[in-house]
């Protein structure tokens, strides 16, 4: 069963197109991670936070990625990284046009 993972962390550097230009290779590498189906990149410049919402094929893959990604973000100098994995109610999500 697929799971959603949410990650958020304080961020003050690049936004929008500048972030996209800087993070293209990282985005490509994320799509090579086991079980990663898609990712929405999130950013809120007003609140100085960035992160993402991911769809993984299993909880195990999501939790493994979250551990690795948290360490990677810390190596980039980020702290206060929030991450959570959620099961999906597929029946209700399909009614609401979730992108499976």
What pLDDT, in 10s, does the model give residues 21-65?
A: 999 999 999 999 999 999 999 999 999 999 999 999 999 999 999
- CATH number of the domain bearing residue 10: 3.30.70.100
Q: Which domain holds residue 27?
A: 3-95
Three state DSSP letters for the chain: CCEEEEEEEECCCCCHHHHHHHHHHHHHHHCCCCCEEEEEEEEECCCCEEEEEEEECCHHHHHHHHHHHHHHHHHCCCCCCEEEEEECCHHHHHHCCCCC
Q: Please indicate, yes or no, if residue 13 is contained in any of the structural domains.
A: yes
Which percentage of the chain shows pLDDT scores above 90? 95
Query: What is the C-alpha to C-alpha distance for residues 65 and 18, in angstroms, rounded to an integer?
Result: 25
Task: Name the pLDDT band for 99 (thresholds 50, 70, 90).
Answer: confident
Q: Work out how many domains the chain is built from and give that number.
A: 1
pTM of the model: 0.91
Q: Please indicate, yes or no, if residue 63 is contained in any of the structural domains.
A: yes
């Amino acid at each position: 069963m697929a799971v959603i993972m949410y990650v958020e962390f304080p961020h003050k550097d690049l936004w929008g197109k500048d972030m996209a230009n800087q993070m293209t290779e990282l985005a490509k590498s994320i799509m090579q991670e086991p079980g990663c189906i898609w990712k929405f990149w999130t950013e809120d410049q007003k609140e100085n936070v960035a992160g993402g919402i991911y769809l993984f094929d299993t909880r195990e893959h999501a939790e493994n990625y979250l551990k690795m990604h948290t360490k990677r973000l810390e190596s980039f100098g980020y702290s206060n990284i929030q991450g959570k994995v959620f099961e999906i109610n597929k029946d209700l999500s399909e009614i609401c046009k979730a992108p499976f």
